[in-house]
A and B are shown apart, each in its own frame.
Chain A
Amino acid sequence: MADKGKREQKIAIEAVIVAAITVAGVALQVLTGGFNREILAFPANLILVTAIPVLLILFKGAAKHLASGSLSVILISVVTIIALYMGLVPGNSAKSSWPFVLIYLALLINLTASVLMRLRTFKIRKDISFMLNHIGLLILLFSAGPGSADKARYFMRVFEGKVEWRAEKSGSKESAEAVELPVAISLEDFEMDEYPPKLAIIERNTGIALPEKRPIYFEAILNAASTIERWNLVIDSVLYKPGFAPAAFVRVTDKYSDVPTEGWVSCGNYFQHFKTLSLDSTYCVAMTFPEPKEYRSKVEVYTQSGKVKNGVVRVNHPMTIGGWKIYQHSYDSARGRDSVWSLFELVYDPWIIPAYIGMIMMIFGAITLFWKGGKS
């Protein structure tokens, strides 16, 4: 039982050290008001990423202690507690706080040490699962943590037929100033596909659609028909041209009176007024705005180094050029498909390749967990 006492003593020491690190973090937080990620910018992050394994290899004795599995349990638990704080307290900035950064660093050291110790007795069959999970995680944590200091995100608004080099930094609070980027975008065309607008019968004053409990909205497409309470609606014609507000010619027959009402209904747009069709003094037929289905920008992109690339940028399909990724962000929502500009988000992340390598290793690691199960 002496062994057990020794182990408990070791865990206690580790817990005290981790607590001390956390307290130091809180003190630093109070003194400096937060961690400034920019101090990790290149080359500081690269030095850190190299120094941790090199020092651990040089100081084997220390590495053995730092590779402790019980220390891992304590550190992962503390990170979880900080994450709980992030998840529960509105508007906190825990992710850029000193306690979080210091614990993250401790975790990196502990993980690197564990991997190094395990590598010394590496056997492919026995250790492949451990290695995929932990080396993958290590690479990912290095890229996502210290590596993120080199990341930059900008918004660039480009008008159709124009070329733009300037962009505003995204995420910064002070009124963003436009800076010139090493990439330029020429917007040839902004296009949008929309879902067809929908028709409903609404109470004129409140806007509540009928039937009140389960309102019916039906698509305004040619020959579409619907019955809503005592009215039969048929769409005889639709008008759906660029630059014009969508409109539908609706014929409505009242089941009881058999007197048809007909006329144009439109949701309007930025220069045309909306139009409803009155059924009686309370109800009218109205059209909803069409919702975007897909939007995309036809662009030509240039870099300072002389690269040129043509293509289409749309949501979920960014364009990559020289370390930059260009995302379709938004458009002039007041004009919808007639927007004459497109807003792009440009992201520069030189650590994205290692991050992907780490993630892919971890996916394979996860498959080994699935396959191996709890038999270690």
Chain B
Amino acid sequence: MWDNFIWFSAASMLLWILGVASLYMNKKSSLTGNILISAGLVIFLIFILLLWGDLKHPPLRTMGETRLWYSFFITLVGFVTWLRWRYKWLAGYSVLVSGVFIMVNLLKPEIHFTNLMPALQSIWFVPHVTVYILSYAMFGAATIASFIAIRELKNKSERLMPLIDNLIYIGLGFLMTGMLLGAIWAKEAWGDYWTWDPKEVWAFITAAVYVVYIHARAQKYPLRIILWILPLAFIMLMITWLGVNYLPAAQGSIHVY
């Protein structure tokens, strides 16, 4: 079945790219774009289901199989967010990330023989990581917007605030979901849902700074203070994502795979 992956993924990728292109080109109606993207999702899902039938167990055991779900879910969630919030760039971005995972699967399949350690062989792994990646996309965009908004404050313009608040709420929605799924997984795998493991400490810090932003906004604190929270939060996010393993306090973390 894996031999056919290239055909299915090429078809899905093509439909997704055409779909996103159509969204950008066709200003009046997004119907064609939506149909194309949905068709790509259906084809991708069909491949997963066929593989499932072929393997006789859900394709969740190897790294390659896990990446299939990433590719699928990232595009799906990007698409749903587009339908709800009309962010074209997010639909495009999610297709791009999905394409990267598809390429990795084609070039370095790791289908039969990846040594996925037992603790990672969990149904929580994929949703936990996928949802996190999406929140990072939202927060990344919000951070860029916050720099522009800080500059525009001089002209008393608050044009970008609805967009920024929106991205932060959506991003925090994903981030909290990722964190909670991680907690439920940790309980199943290690016996405790929260142990203040270094990665958990930094994930907590990141979420907490965004929570401070939301509450400070609700309190209507001055924007010239509040807006600086966002770059700060993004630094925390980067430390959580990439930096934790290098911190001296993190030696012996369960997350250092």
Listed in ascending order, the chain A residues whose CB lies under 8 Å from chain B are 69-70, 72-73, 76-77, 79-80, 83-84, 86-92, 95, 144, 151, 153, 195-196, 219, 291-295, 314-318, 325, 327, 345, 347, 352, 355-356, 359, 362-363, 365-376
Contact = CB atoms under 8 A, between A and B. Distances in A.
B121 A294 contact: yes
Nearest to B185: A316
Nearest to B162: A374
B257 interface: no
Interface string B162-176: 101111111011101
Given A73-B212, A373-B169, A87 B191 contact: no
Contacts, number: 134
B183 A87 contact: no
B115 A195 contact: yes
B85 A373 contact: yes
A295 B119 CA distance: 10
A369 B172 contact: yes
A288 to B, nearest CB: 11
A86 B196 contact: yes
Given A69-B218, A80-B212, A366-B173, A90 B180 contact: no
A78 to B, nearest CB: 10
Contacts of B218: 69, 376
A87 B198 contact: yes
Given A91-B249, A315-B121, 18 more contacts: A76-B215, A80-B205, A86-B196, A87-B202, A90-B249, A90-B251, A196-B113, A294-B118, A315-B118, A315-B119, A316-B122, A318-B188, A325-B191, A347-B191, A370-B169, A371-B84, A373-B85, A374-B169
Contact of A316 (B169, B188, B201): B188
B247 A87 contact: yes
A12 to B, nearest CB: 14
A316 B121 contact: yes
Chain B interface category by residue count: 35 or more
B84 to A, nearest CB: 7
The 5 closest A-B pairs by CB, nearest first: A374-B165, A370-B173, A369-B173, A315-B118, A366-B176
B231 to A, nearest CB: 15
Nearest to A360: B180
A376 B43 CA distance: 38
A84 B181 CA distance: 23
A57 to B, nearest CB: 24
30 contacts: A69-B215, A69-B218, A73-B215, A80-B208, A83-B201, A83-B208, A84-B205, A86-B201, A87-B239, A88-B247, A90-B248, A153-B191, A195-B115, A291-B117, A292-B117, A294-B118, A314-B118, A315-B119, A316-B118, A316-B121, A317-B188, A345-B191, A355-B193, A359-B193, A367-B173, A369-B170, A373-B85, A374-B162, A374-B165, A374-B168
Contacts of B180: 359, 362-363, 366
A245 to B, nearest CB: 19
B34 interface: no
B219 A73 contact: yes
Contact of B249 (A88, A195, A376): A88
B204 interface: yes
Interface in B21-62: none
Given A195-B115, A369-B176, A315 B166 contact: no
Contacts of B193: 144, 355, 359
Given A73-B215, A80-B208, A315-B119, A370 B174 contact: yes
Contacts of A72: 215
Contacts of B221: 73
Contacts of B251: 90
B189 interface: yes
Contact of A144 (B181, B194, B248): B194
B184 A359 contact: yes
Contacts of A153: 191-192
A317 B194 CA distance: 18
B170 A295 contact: no
A95 B197 CA distance: 11
A347 B188 CA distance: 11
Nearest to B249: A90
B172 A69 contact: no
Contact of B118 (A91, A219, A293, A375): A293
B205 A219 contact: no
B220 to A, nearest CB: 10
Given A69-B215, A316-B119, A87 B205 contact: yes
A135 to B, nearest CB: 14
A48 to B, nearest CB: 19
Nearest to B195: A95
A347 B189 contact: no
Contacts of B116: 293
Contacts of B209: 80
Nearest to B190: A327
A265 B208 CA distance: 55
Contacts of A363: 176-177, 180-181
A363 B117 CA distance: 28
A347 B170 CA distance: 35
A87 B220 CA distance: 30
Nearest to B215: A73
Contacts of A89: 249
A105 B219 CA distance: 22
B113 to A, nearest CB: 6
Contacts of A374: 162, 164-169
A373 B165 contact: yes
B141 interface: no
Nearest to A318: B188
B196 to A, nearest CB: 5
